[in-house]
Amino acid sequence: MLTDSLAAQLYAEICRIPLIDSHSHINPLQAASRSLDDILGYHYYTELAHSAGMSKAPLAAHVDPRERVRIIIEYMDRFDNTAQYGWFVDIARTFLGFTGERITPADATGLCETAERLMAQPDWEEQVLRKSNIEKVFLTNDFDDPLEGFDTNRYVPCLRTDDLVFHLDKPEVRQRLAKATNVEVHSWRDVQTAVTKLFEHFTRKGARACAVSLPPNFTPTAAARWEGTTDPTVRSQAIFWLLADHCRAFKLPFDLMIGVNRRVYANGVYQGQDLFDQRTSLIQYAELFNSFPDVIFPISVLTSVQNQELASYSWIFPNVITHGHWWYSNIPVYVERDTRARLQAVPKTKQIGYYSDMYKLEFGLPKFNMYRRILAGVLADDFVRAGSHSETQALELARLLLRDNSRRIFGV
Amino acid sequence: MLTDSLAAQLYAEICRIPLIDSHSHINPLQAASRSLDDILGYHYYTELAHSAGMSKAPLAAHVDPRERVRIIIEYMDRFDNTAQYGWFVDIARTFLGFTGERITPADATGLCETAERLMAQPDWEEQVLRKSNIEKVFLTNDFDDPLEGFDTNRYVPCLRTDDLVFHLDKPEVRQRLAKATNVEVHSWRDVQTAVTKLFEHFTRKGARACAVSLPPNFTPTAAARWEGTTDPTVRSQAIFWLLADHCRAFKLPFDLMIGVNRRVYANGVYQGQDLFDQRTSLIQYAELFNSFPDVIFPISVLTSVQNQELASYSWIFPNVITHGHWWYSNIPVYVERDTRARLQAVPKTKQIGYYSDMYKLEFGLPKFNMYRRILAGVLADDFVRAGSHSETQALELARLLLRDNSRRIFGV
Amino acid sequence: MLTDSLAAQLYAEICRIPLIDSHSHINPLQAASRSLDDILGYHYYTELAHSAGMSKAPLAAHVDPRERVRIIIEYMDRFDNTAQYGWFVDIARTFLGFTGERITPADATGLCETAERLMAQPDWEEQVLRKSNIEKVFLTNDFDDPLEGFDTNRYVPCLRTDDLVFHLDKPEVRQRLAKATNVEVHSWRDVQTAVTKLFEHFTRKGARACAVSLPPNFTPTAAARWEGTTDPTVRSQAIFWLLADHCRAFKLPFDLMIGVNRRVYANGVYQGQDLFDQRTSLIQYAELFNSFPDVIFPISVLTSVQNQELASYSWIFPNVITHGHWWYSNIPVYVERDTRARLQAVPKTKQIGYYSDMYKLEFGLPKFNMYRRILAGVLADDFVRAGSHSETQALELARLLLRDNSRRIFGV
């Protein structure tokens, strides 16, 4: 797939670096897929099929999974140009022995059967991780996750706090919090106590990061007071600040995923409803970055437009780290450009190259492959051929981006 | 002009696809040029010459057209680096037998004579369309256009509604509307009646789209009420929503051209005064896209900055289509990048690759050539060489972008 | 460093064009460095070392300069991927005889000694200028600079007005102004008188431009009145407008450097605290550009995101000039893209390709080298190979960008 021989050579070497995947949505109790329906249930496929004309009916729970798979594949010839389709072909070839050129509805039943047979093997999860060369996978854990029953050395817990920051006024969230912490939230003091308990629980269980996704207009500030207001924005700001302070106290990096508007397409498929407003700026986080010099902030931005801000803020602020290529920016043209900008402007020790954002383990390989190909091309053109780096030095750079920086920053 | 042999080969094949040009400003009663003055009267040349130092005097109506042509060509050696100059050379070579390297004032008289001689041929229009391989050209018709005297199968009517949305409070617009519809607008009911009559007239005459250009801060909303306010923004919103509702009822796609500020350079040449504010977002259209799931919205954005939003919104919303490369984004560096992003992220059936935006037929060829060269390069690099597509499949993709998607979406 | 032979050939020829450096921070009384500490005192190194983990302690005045150099070099292996590190290696090789691959702390003492020995030569400044092929360097002069003691033909004065626009209400600025002009500012009339005296002084001394850097939200307007308000924004607007009017009267181009927020990282190193908000638009300057058609505005934008606006505004407004690649946009990936857009869309006579922004003369060479390599690549790909320009014509284009346009626009 890489016609440039230097890039192909670098790619082959880069693939030998064991990966630390610093952000995913893996369920560690069922990390790998059990069927093709698990694979094609990824929102990228359901939303692209829906966008291309498929109704939401095949996605209903009662529909036979194989029938659902067949229908989604049927619609694929409307989006077989996309990067996401490419991931699926990569999975079919690497994990399911597919040898054809394109995947058509005629392949559906065969692929479903192969998938069920192979994925039923007791060591399937191990096989996938081994083939993908992934060593550790960070999770996205609800605050009330017991974090039991899995190897937290392989699947690293991460406290996801969207519910706390944006939904704490909802009764069901308060109930979940009460159940998790034995604290009923009536006052700001209660919020503080509950959050401290959560951090104690998570760090005891090996959590290595706190994380939150934020809308484009969010602006953290120390001035926000939770008590004495019912303004949801101010309450969100207050809790956010409290979390940052706990990250400081518990020495956890605080992953910020900046820029998503939820439910923009209200009738979209599950997880296929969120979009963004490009008009956002990291200047909104200046007070935060200044106030917590000891907290490391790995930052994901949703748009390539904002990548110049990210590269520049990371170039200036010691505690700002560039973190992966998120969601709508995770297509080759933007990954390449953003990678080049970061490599030209940000200290190499402050960059985490990529994470999978995956829900099922099988996606680690095709997504990291996409990134590794791009990285190999950038290293070949901008560093080795430009004369500034030997191949060995270029590979050391890749190793920082794919492994060593994550190990140091998250302490794993 | 393409040094890559695979791209050159794809380009040659792409040029054989008969084009549907989904947006132009052609006057179907006088579609082709009659002189070089018609060619160089295109605002790209007058505004670039003016920007480079030419006064507006040569553009006055009383100036001898040949003298005007000579002066504009004289200034061309100040902007012969631009893509627009390249179009002119392409026209001179393809249509006027020009064989030199660069066009200088010494060529002016000869070119004028050749142009007048050739363009006087009765079949000139046919020749131009044949050489350009253009099958259909969409128009931009004022709401009071009688749509008579031309083949609406070749020149497809399109109801342009800027006057209705933004200028209906002007007496002259109301008079034109009254004349066209026999409705004097006093109440919202009158507006509704008049608009319905326009849609009836246009669809009876074969119109295939409704279109409007919108300023960066425009935000459509169902909440806007025309009656009871004199706020021009609210009135514009109300009429816009009414038009969207008529597009639904009359099953017309609604072309939105988003982002232009009119008369920013107030003393500029005719049509050379408009610019933009990059701070705009498609989030402003979320309510619209959600409210009219049955209306197809082919969207043009004015900046490449906003292209990531367009690609993402089209990836999620079934009714959002990426539409061409408009105006200030219609230069190779942006066309290439935006094309790559769309091809990597948006279902291939939801992309209309390019339109000419031309005022005279001769511009179809150089503008589409520019796009076809870029498309050929992107297909060669990102699809054929990357191993995901055969050459045949890549050409099928090109055919969707240049022809088949327009046919399906606009029903032509 | 350029593997493409056509680009390498163009680069070699481009390097022969004597440069006009249209913006720098050179102190003409001590233009060249006297030690490696002068080189590494450039904020790019101190801020990158600090961002990568170095405390500010080594930057204190009492620290031994050689020790400071050693420490900064020690941190370089955390940012030796950056363009800025590349400049330093280029300086070490070109001016200090360094022949190694990478610069390590083991090289520090040797390099310091070599630097001190070579830089002590009486003709060092001449050597640097000759090797760099720089003919003229524009300065950034405080309004109270006496402009004495140097050759204003080589070091061209430029009136920098940030203090006047944004800090005139500070007592120390008023004192400096009073000392420079013999005018104590009490009324608007006083401000006018003082500013006129400054322009008289500067133009008498050979100043060729007025310049100011502006925050992202700044919007000039003729409506602002200095008297009768204490609003600092309105006062800034009023003074800015007065300066534009003086540029008109004194026929000076007004360099606008748009988009910087000062002291965003308040605890950063000296000159390493400023960042930006990408949400800014040139539409904010429409009134200005329209009001002063006779004033030429060379515009620098801080983000590549805004470059499309710059290219478009320069394509339309006769008095808007594209000016260099400023600060956070001065890394190869952005320089290349922005250069391509400008060359495809803006009259070639309206582009000033690059300036050094340097504080010490030694930086002219590596920075212009970076630009010249990029320019050579763009000319090779987009012009010569694309068939629109011969090599000679491409080099004429380069000459405009690097020399002739600056000469004409600034009258030097």
**Residue C329: which of C282, C367, C273 has the closest Cα?**
C367
Q: Do C306 and B278 touch (CB under 8 A)?
A: yes
Q: What is the pLDDT of residue C53?
A: 98
Nearest-Cα distance to chain C for B132, in Å, is: 21
Q: Reply yes or no on whether the pLDDT at B1 is more than 80.
A: no
Q: Report helix angle C124-132 to C364-378, nearest 10.
A: 0
Q: Do B81 and C305 touch (CB under 8 A)?
A: no
* Residue given tokens 């040009």 in the structure block: B21
Listed in order, strand segments (DSSP E) in B92-154 are 134-138
Query: Per-residue pLDDT tens for B278-294?
Result: 999 999 999 999 999 99
Q: Do A52 and B347 touch (CB under 8 A)?
A: yes
**Residue B199: which of B159, B256, B253 has the closest Cα?**
B159
Laid out side by side, the sheet with A19-21 consists of: A19-21, A134-138, A155-156
Nearest-angstrom CA–CA distance, A368 and C263:
38
pTM of the model: 0.98
* Cross-chain CB nearest to A51 (options B279, B317, B337): B317
* Residue given tokens 């009119």 in the structure block: B262
Q: Do A316 and C267 touch (CB under 8 A)?
A: no
- Tell me, rounded to whole angstroms, the distance of Cα B146 from its chain centroid: 21
What CATH number was assigned to the domain covering residues A135-410?
3.20.20.140
Q: Do A283 and C276 touch (CB under 8 A)?
A: yes
Low-confidence ranges of chain A (pLDDT < 70): none
Nearest-Cα distance to chain B for C90, in Å, is: 30
Nearest-angstrom CA–CA distance, C65 and B351:
60
Residues of A in contact with B347 (CB under 8 A): 48, 51-52, 78-79, 81-82
Residue A264 φ then ψ, to 5°: -70, -45
**Residue B304: which of B285, B331, B284, B286 has the closest Cα?**
B331
The amino acid occupying position B3 is: T
Is A317 part of the contact surface with chain C (CB cutoff 8 Å)? yes
Chains that touch A (3 or more CB pairs under 8 A): B, C
Is A268 part of the contact surface with chain B (CB cutoff 8 Å)? yes
Q: What is the pLDDT of residue A1?
A: 72
Q: What is the pLDDT of residue C1?
A: 72
Listed in order, strand segments (DSSP E) in C172-251 are 209-214
Contact yes or no for A2/A376 (Cβ under 8 A): yes
Q: What is the pLDDT of residue C162?
A: 98
Residues of A in contact with C304 (CB under 8 A): 308
- CB environment B95-111: b (16+ within 10 A), e (fewer): bbebeeeebeeebbeeb
Nearest-Cα distance to chain C for A395, in Å, is: 12
Fold match flag (B35-119 vs B133-410): no
**Residue C397: which of C369, C376, C411 has the closest Cα?**
C376
- Tell me, rounded to whole angstroms, the distance of Cα B309 from its chain centroid: 20
Residues of B in contact with C346 (CB under 8 A): 79, 82
Fold of C128-410: TIM Barrel (3.20.20)
Q: Which residues of chain C from 332 to 391 reach within 8 Å of chain B, CB to CB?
A: 337, 340-341, 343-350, 382-383, 385-390
Query: Per-residue pLDDT tens for B132-171?
Result: 999 999 999 999 999 999 999 999 999 999 999 999 999 9
Picking from A315, A348, A374, A381 by the largest number of C CB atoms within 10 A of its own CB, the best residue to mutate is A315
Q: What is the pLDDT of residue B358?
A: 98
Q: Do C348 and B79 touch (CB under 8 A)?
A: yes
- Tell me, rounded to whole angstroms, the distance of Cα A104 from its chain centroid: 29
Q: Do B341 and A333 touch (CB under 8 A)?
A: yes
Nearest-angstrom CA–CA distance, B97 and B77:
21
Residues of A in contact with B350 (CB under 8 A): 51-52, 78
Is C265 part of the contact surface with chain A (CB cutoff 8 Å)? yes
Beta bridge partners of A275: A261
Laid out side by side, the sheet with B351-352 consists of: B158-160, B209-214, B254-258, B297-301, B320-323, B351-352
Nearest-angstrom CA–CA distance, A388 and A394:
9
Q: Do C283 and B267 touch (CB under 8 A)?
A: no
Domain A35-119 has CATH 1.10.2020.10: yes
Q: Which DSSP string do the residues of C121-184 spell out, in sequence order?
A: STTHHHHHHHHHTEEEEE--B-TT----SS-TTTEE-EEE-HHHHHHTTSHHHHHHHHHHHS--
Nearest-Cα distance to chain C for A48, in Å, is: 28
Residue of chain B with shortest Cα separation from A264: B286
Residue A106 exposed, middle or buried by CB count within 10 Å (0-12, 13-18, 19+): exposed
Q: Which residues of chain C from 193 to 252 reach within 8 Å of chain B, CB to CB?
A: none
Q: What is the pLDDT of residue C77?
A: 96
Domain spans in chain C, listed from the N-terminal domain onward: 35-119, 128-410
**Residue B206: which of B240, B169, B250, B174 has the closest Cα?**
B250
Residue of chain A with shortest Cα separation from C46: A316
The amino acid occupying position B63 is: V
Q: Do A333 and B340 touch (CB under 8 A)?
A: yes
Q: What DSSP state is assigned to residue B146?
A: -
- Between chain B and chain C, how many beta carbons pairs sit less than 8 Å apart? 105
Nearest-angstrom CA–CA distance, A197 and A246:
10
Chains that touch B (3 or more CB pairs under 8 A): A, C
Nearest-Cα distance to chain A for C328, in Å, is: 7
Q: Is B151 helix (H, G, I), strand (E, B) or coil?
A: coil
In chain C (412 residues long), the average pLDDT of successive 10-residue segments reads 93 98 98 98 98 98 97 98 98 97 95 98 98 98 98 98 98 98 97 98 98 98 96 98 98 98 97 98 98 98 98 98 98 98 98 98 98 98 96 98 98 97
* Cross-chain CB nearest to A318 (options C3, C53, C275): C53
Q: Do C309 and B83 touch (CB under 8 A)?
A: no
What rounded mean pLDDT belongs to chain C?
98
Using DSSP bridges, classify how beta strands A260-261 and A275-276 pair: parallel, antiparallel or unpaired: antiparallel
Residue C172 exposed, middle or buried by CB count within 10 Å (0-12, 13-18, 19+): exposed
Query: Per-residue pLDDT tens for A273-317?
Result: 999 999 999 999 999 999 999 999 999 999 999 999 999 999 999
The amino acid occupying position B184 is: E
How far is it between the farthest Cα atoms of chain C? 64
Residue B152 exposed, middle or buried by CB count within 10 Å (0-12, 13-18, 19+): middle
Query: Per-residue pLDDT tens for B235-273?
Result: 999 999 999 999 999 999 999 999 999 999 999 999 999
Q: What DSSP state is assigned to residue B277?
A: -
Torsion-angle region of B113 (φ positive above 0: left; ψ -120 to 50: alpha; else: beta):
alpha
The CATH architecture to which B133-410 belongs is: Alpha-Beta Barrel (3.20)
- Between chain A and chain C, how many beta carbons pairs sit less than 8 Å apart? 105
What rounded mean pLDDT belongs to chain B?
98
